[in-house]
Amino acid sequence: MAAAVRGAKRSLRAELKQRLRALSDEERRRQSLFVTQQVLAHSHYQKASRVAVFLSMPDEVRTEDIVLDVFRRGKACFIPRYRPGSRHMDMVRLASPQELAGLPRTAWNIPQPPEDDPREEALAGGGLDLIFMPGLGFDGSGRRLGRGGGYYDAYLRRCREQQAARPYTLALAFREQLCPQVPVDEDDEPVDEVLYEGCRAPGAGAAAGAQPDTASE
């Protein structure tokens, strides 16, 4: 069964990467703006005081405006710091959006503070209220297909162990990343909601009985 799931994941990743490559820059910008507007109006975002935001790659929903708004509202902003050669990731505090331009870049061309840069790690300083989740694919039940590193799944397990309440998780997606069903195994953590153009789909962790919000395109 495990081998079958791995194979299904590989196949779906290849399909989703092809879909994303077919998206024009203009279409990515357009959908990113729509999703950003959903984020800024979302009740979980508005009430959160400690927020973790992924810094987007070219084939992901752009998060630059979300980072700016986090600081504009006076929230604490945390960004991922991946440890090379392992599956370990921390969420470390960003002092200002302007400092992103001076940070070194990872192999994925994402700004990241170096390991010897002492910063507050979110779980050591009070936890997180909200985590924005990247991914390659998502389904209507909150199942998420990542890129295979397992960083976010491991970090969410640490959150359960180290803070009283699990942070709310909001996945940000292009419509092309929505799937009828995402293959998962026992190590995969579901997300609470998936935000994408035209719908807010409650995930497995959302409140029971919640209904999707629809919006005209």
How sure is the predictor about 215, in pLDDT bands with cuts at 50, 70 and 90? very low
Q: Is 40 annotated as a binding residue?
A: no
* pLDDT at residue 97 tops 70: yes
pLDDT given at position 148: 85
Position 212 in a domain: no
| 3-state SS string for the chain | CHHHHHHHHHHHHHHHHHHHHCCCHHHHHHHHHHHHHHHHHCHHHHHCCEEECCCCCCCCCCCHHHHHHHHHCCCEEEEEEECCCCCCEEEEECCCHHHHHHCCECCCCCECCCCCCCCCEHHHCCCCCEEEECCCEECCCCCEECCCCCHHHHHHHHHHHHCCCCCEEEEECCHHHECCCCCCCCCCCCCCEEEECCEEEECCCCCCCCCCEECCC
Mean pLDDT of 166-180: 96
Q: Is 19 annotated as a binding residue?
A: no
Q: Is 172 annotated as a binding residue?
A: no
Q: Is 144 annotated as a binding residue?
A: yes
Tell me what the pLDDT averaged over the chain comes to.
89
Position 214 in a domain: no
Position 217 in a domain: no
Q: Is 82 annotated as a binding residue?
A: no
Q: Is 102 annotated as a binding residue?
A: no
Position 215 in a domain: no
CATH number at residue 157: 3.40.50.10420
* pLDDT at residue 212 tops 50: no
Q: Is 30 annotated as a binding residue?
A: no
Domain total in the chain: 1
Which structural domain, as residue segments, surrounds residue 124? 2-206
Q: Is 198 annotated as a binding residue?
A: no
Q: What is the pTM of this model?
A: 0.89
Mean pLDDT of 34-45: 96
Q: Is 13 annotated as a binding residue?
A: yes
Q: Is 209 annotated as a binding residue?
A: no
Position 14 in a domain: yes
Q: Is 149 annotated as a binding residue?
A: yes
Q: Is 75 annotated as a binding residue?
A: no
Position 211 in a domain: no
pLDDT tens digits, one per residue of 58-71: 999 999 999 999 99
Position 19 in a domain: yes
